């Protein structure tokens, strides 16, 4: 079946893509090694080819302050960092990113693509790390000023496949082991099952092109069914 987002399909003209993606906030999520960053870059290229202004950000980081926080979070030397400290640092980076980059871009009507956002904290520090989800979401509400993605695209991949894709020089989060990353995957799957309107799950074990086609189709279907961004309250 030909995807509706194909450039030759009748609905996928420039005006349609502007209407669908302009002013949207989409987070690309998934375990380390899921291929989410590659897929985000492909969507950014596609959107720009349709005349959209695209702002790409990554977490943690994306600002001068955020990149400094990123260095602390991912440094393998910081073995004694607590999960609560992790969560707070991610939120601090996120707060700076939203106020400095994300909110102004959305106010301009730009398409904002984020390589991770609050869902990552829910999966890594919540489900895998053991923090109370309600408390994570309460902090997120303050940190983001309630600016949440219109859609979270989760690239689902098993631990063995993900491990084969990772750089052998692992950062601190990537070094946490197979059992931790299994719980991360469980966390993402739970988010998708509990709120399918704002979280879509893509099988990322397939080849890159197949994953891209599935993601683009799912994004179109989800955004065509207009609904408000996910809330950060439980």
Query: What's the confidence (pLDDT) of residue 226?
Result: 58
Q: Which one, of 86, 153, 146, lies nearest residue 121 by Cα?
A: 86
Q: What is the pLDDT of residue 232?
A: 47
Nearest Cα residue to 204 out of 59, 8, 33: 33
Q: Is residue 54 a contact partner of residue 48, using CB atoms and an 8 Å limit?
A: yes
**Long-range contacts, stretch 132-137, CB < 8 angstroms, 24+ apart:** 133/234, 134/234, 136/87, 137/232, 137/233, 137/234
- Which tokens in the block code for residue 70? 């990123």
Per-residue confidence (pLDDT) for residue 88, from 0 to 100: 98
> What angle is formed at CA 154 by the lines to CA 149 and CA 157, rounded to 5 degrees?
165
**Residue in the block written with tokens 């990113």:** 97
pLDDT at residue 121, rounded to an integer: 98
What's the pLDDT score for residue 18?
83
The reported pLDDT for the residue numbered 59 is 95
CA distance 26 to 40: 9
pLDDT score recorded for residue 62:
95
The most distant pair of C-alpha atoms in the chain lies apart, rounded to whole Å, by 56
Q: Residues of the chain whose pLDDT is less than 50?
A: 1-12, 169, 232-234
| pLDDT for 98 | 98
- Specify the pLDDT at position 5: 47
Of the options 3.40.1800.10, 3.40.720.10, 3.40.50.300, 3.90.1170.20, the CATH number for the domain spanning 35-224: 3.40.50.300
* pLDDT score, position 48: 95
Integer-rounded Cα Rg, in Å, for the chain is: 17
Determine the pLDDT at residue 125: 97
The 10s digit of each residue's pLDDT in 88-108 is 999 999 999 999 999 999 999
């Amino acid at each position: 079946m030909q995807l509706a987002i194909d450039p030759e399909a009748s609905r996928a003209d420039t005006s349609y893509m502007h209407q669908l993606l302009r002013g949207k906030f989409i987070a690309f999520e998934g375990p380390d090694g899921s291929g989410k960053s590659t897929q985000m870059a492909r969507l950014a290229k596609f959107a720009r080819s349709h005349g959209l202004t695209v702002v790409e950000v990554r977490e943690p980081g994306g600002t001068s302050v955020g990149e400094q926080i990123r260095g602390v979070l991912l440094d393998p030397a910081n073995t004694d960092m607590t999960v609560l400290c992790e969560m707070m640092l991610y939120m601090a980076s996120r707060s700076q990113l939203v106020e400095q980059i994300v909110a102004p871009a959305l106010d301009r009507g730009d398409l904002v693509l984020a390589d991770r956002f609050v869902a990552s904290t829910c999966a890594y520090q919540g489900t895998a790390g053991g923090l109370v989800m309600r408390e994570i979401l309460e902090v997120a509400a303050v940190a983001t000023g309630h600016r949440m993605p219109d859609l979270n695209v989760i690239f689902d991949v098993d631990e063995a496949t993900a491990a084969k894709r990772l750089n052998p020089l692992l950062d601190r989060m990537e070094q946490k082991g197979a059992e931790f990353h299994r719980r991360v995957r469980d966390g993402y799957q739970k988010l998708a099952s509990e709120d399918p309107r704002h979280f879509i799950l893509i099988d990322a074990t397939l080849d890159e092109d197949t994953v891209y086609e599935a993601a683009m189709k799912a994004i179109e279907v989800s955004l065509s069914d207009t609904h408000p961004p996910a809330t950060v309250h439980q």
